[in-house]
Structure 1
Amino acid sequence: MSRRTPALTKPLLATLKGQRQSVPPMWLMRQAGRYLPEYRALRAEKGGFLSLATDPEAAAEVTLQPIRRFGFDGAILFSDILMVPWALGQDLSFGVGEGPRLEPALVDHALVALQSVPERLEPVYATVRTVAAALPPETTFLGFAGSPWTVATYMVAGQGSRDQAETRRYAYRDPGAFGAIVDAITRMTTDYLSAQIEAGVEAVQLFDSWAGSLSPAQFERWVIAPNAAIVAGVKARHPEAVVIGFPKGAGGKLPAYARETGVDALGLDETVDPEWAAASIPAAMPVQGNLDPLALITGGETLDAAIDRILAAFADRPHVFNLGHGILQDTPIAHVEQLIARVRGTA
């Protein structure tokens, strides 16, 4: 096993382990992506998204691009949350100008008809090993996976949707069948994150992009319970593992998520009032977030004011500065540079 740089010399990892920094470390969700000209050039060269994400050399290059350009404190693995359903046996495609598609959609097909193909995840682990060997020693390497509810919405419907109505109906109509899908995702995700850690990531994030679409009872069943199972499973294999939970849209259910899932840190989306979060989330828990990606696009005084409010709200606890969701394609690079300078006090 390769030697790891101690957490104390890695500001992001130290913060996720509960050590407050005088200057909060930062990274941005989707920081490796389409707002960067170097990413657009490489994607044009490689072709489709899946070809890029399953080419370890290219995916490692994409992961490293924002570190070279901006010097973020964390590098996030370049991949996709739908790698798990692909490994569970669904066909995955990314059409030009369209979102991802999974076939067959499980609303019309039984889970047991799928044949798992876990070797489809091997290129991801190769990417992790390549990036881990190339990162600066002070940079924390973050892996990730989609949370079971969000991944299940794509598996059931075969594609994304605005309100996840088809999957929500399915979960109410046949909770046994839907529970089997969630259980399969939970098992595969536990293996997947554990393998990422073994390959070289130092912390992992669970993305639950559609957590906000559920009622409280359904949130407890389909968000909290499976995420708690993943956290417990990963930590059973890797007791020092650090897990960030990001249940987007959870709102008032965030304190319960923080208490019951066992995550080490909590990501907050842009709709969460940071002052409310600071008062409502367990006092010792590190938080991550939660700048509105549209404020970053706006820039100027609007951006400075939004940054300052977040920094003030979380000044007394471990805080990782981040966006409330992924960086948008039309974000000016100059505004990212403004953000970094403001957070780090070099403006």
Structure 2
Amino acid sequence: MSEKTAAPAAKPMLRALAGEVQPRPPFWLMRQAGRYLPEYRAVRSQAGGFLDLCLNPELACEVTLQPLRRYGMDAAILFSDILTLPHALGQTVGFAEGEGPRLTPIRDLKTLAQLDRGRLHERAAPVYEAVRRIRAALDRDFPQTALIGFAGSPWTVACYMVEGAGSKEYLHVKRWAFGDPAGFQQLIDLVADSTVDYLSAQVEAGAEVLQLFDSWAGALPSAEFGRWVVQPTRRITAALKQRHPGVPIIGFPRQAGLNLLTYVDEAGVDAVSLDPGVPLLWAARTLQSKVAVQGNLDPVHLVTGGSSLEQAARAVLDTLGDRPFVFNLGHGIIKETPPEHVAQLADLIRTWPALRRG
């Protein structure tokens, strides 16, 4: 991508996504609002179930802001979950403590027909209200902090919808996709079109950046990656850019490996988020000439802290920091992470330009 010297936007996060190289890269952390923070756990205990917390605008706003008060990240990400979309389509979604999500499976066209896109915005209204509240709070208290809205990408959302939970083999979803691709395409199309409407409403409520999480992209063979990851993502990005041409989109095809090249070239994203398995030098030489990159510190370094964290974070900064770049983890913060280690990382990122000169 061509690097730009004139700032196209005031906020550091937006400048980086527009292609500007900055002395100190902006940073935020996936799952930065979460169980590692005692203040989050206090709010979580008041909310009832996890989905109740996601659909409570006041509490979702509060937990979104908590890490900013401690660490001053350059972006806030809406506190929600990728499974709010299946919930908004009418699928039964629940979260069992310590067990993860549970959904009533959608495994054929008969059960697919039970979903209702017509009530999407009604069911997702609390999410949009949370976005409005967060944006107002950022404008008031953190004016240089960008607001990220997000959704799951169709393949990953479909994995949960079909399997009914997390999976290791993805047996049911792959069997439908491989054995009846025309039927499975109907589910993918429904999720993709609903995601466009869902993310568009988040932008209208105040989101300035969008991220698409394709957490299970690496579960697909390369031959199917294009159809079930790249094509639905391109469908979403093209529609969103037509509706909201100034809003950058970050894609996160986790564990995609060399399929990242196809994704970056064809999915229509403005930036790509990298998991810890992506080699830094390869990313710098191969991807950063095309798009901004985000990532990719292993979250366990954040759990470990100390010299392990410093050396690993410095490697990411030194390798990727000279091109359009947003510092992040390669996946979400682990609940066992000591909060003081996040403070260590934030200090390291802020002092990196001086450390490098020294």
State whether TM-score is above 0.5: yes
Q: Is residue 227 of structure 1 aligned with residue 233 of structure 2?
A: yes
Q: TM-score with structure 1 length normalisation?
A: 0.96
Q: What are the within-5 Å matches in structure 2 for residues 23-102 of structure 1?
A: 23-102=24-103
CA contact (8 A) 1:246 1:267 kept: yes
Paired AA for residue 130 in structure 1:
R
Report the CA distance shift for 1:103/1:58 in structure 2 as closer, same or farther (over 3 A): same
Residues 24-33 or 272-281, more deviating: 272-281
| Structure 1 residue aligned with 2:20 | 19
Q: Is residue 166 of structure 1 aligned with residue 172 of structure 2?
A: yes
Calculate percent identity across the aligned residue pairs.
53
CA contact (8 A) 1:106 1:158 kept: no
Q: What are the within-5 Å matches in structure 2 for residues 186-197 of structure 1?
A: 186-197=192-203
| Structure 1 residue aligned with 2:260 | 254
In the TM superposition, residue 203 of structure 1 has moved relative to its aligned partner by: 0.3
Paired AA for residue 121 in structure 1:
A
CA contact (8 A) 1:107 1:157 kept: no
Task: Name which of 262, 276, 289 aligns with 2:282.
Answer: 276
RMSD: 1.4
CA contact (8 A) 1:15 1:318 kept: yes
Misfit runs of 4+, over 2 Å: 6-9, 104-110, 113-117
Q: What are the within-5 Å matches in structure 2 for residues 113-132 of structure 1?
A: 113-116=114-117, 117-118=119-120, 119-132=122-135
| Structure 1 residue aligned with 2:11 | 10
Q: What are the within-5 Å matches in structure 2 for residues 276-295 of structure 1?
A: 276-295=282-301
Match of 1:306, SS state, is helix
Cα distance in 2, alignment partners of residues 331 and 316 from structure 1? 28
Q: Is residue 149 of structure 1 aligned with residue 155 of structure 2?
A: yes
In the TM superposition, residue 246 of structure 1 has moved relative to its aligned partner by: 0.4
Residues 267-294 of structure 1 show CA distances to partners (whole Å, capped at 9, x for unaligned) of 0001111111111115041100000001
Q: TM-score with structure 2 length normalisation?
A: 0.93
Paired AA for residue 153 in structure 2:
S
CA contact (8 A) 2:295 2:327 kept: yes
Residues 93-102 or 54-63, more deviating: 93-102
Task: Name which of 216, 219, 226 aligns with 1:210.
Answer: 216
Residues 54-91 of structure 1 show CA distances to partners (whole Å, capped at 9, x for unaligned) of 11011011111111111000000000001111112201
| Structure 1 residue aligned with 2:3 | none
Structure 2 gap ranges (5+) = 1-6
CA contact (8 A) 2:233 2:267 kept: yes
Cα distance in 1, alignment partners of residues 343 and 8 from structure 2? 26
Paired AA for residue 225 in structure 1:
Q
In the TM superposition, residue 8 of structure 1 has moved relative to its aligned partner by: 3.5
Residues 164-173 or 138-147, more deviating: 164-173
Structure 1 gap ranges (5+) = 1-5
Match of 1:110, SS state, is helix
Cα distance in 2, alignment partners of residues 45 and 199 from structure 1? 26
Cα distance in 1, alignment partners of residues 116 and 14 from structure 2? 37
| Structure 2 residue aligned with 1:3 | none
| Structure 1 residue aligned with 2:337 | 331
Q: What are the within-5 Å matches in structure 2 for residues 169-180 of structure 1?
A: 169-180=175-186
In the TM superposition, residue 157 of structure 1 has moved relative to its aligned partner by: 1.0
Paired AA for residue 74 in structure 1:
A
| Structure 1 residue aligned with 2:269 | 263
| Structure 2 residue aligned with 1:105 | 106
Report the CA distance shift for 1:219/1:19 in structure 2 as closer, same or farther (over 3 A): same
Cα distance in 2, alignment partners of residues 161 and 314 from structure 1? 33
Cα distance in 2, alignment partners of residues 38 and 271 from structure 1? 32
Match of 1:8, SS state, is coil
Cα distance in 2, alignment partners of residues 171 and 137 from structure 1? 45
Cα distance in 2, alignment partners of residues 107 and 16 from structure 1? 39
CA contact (8 A) 2:106 2:112 kept: no
Match of 1:9, SS state, is coil
CA contact (8 A) 1:259 1:282 kept: no
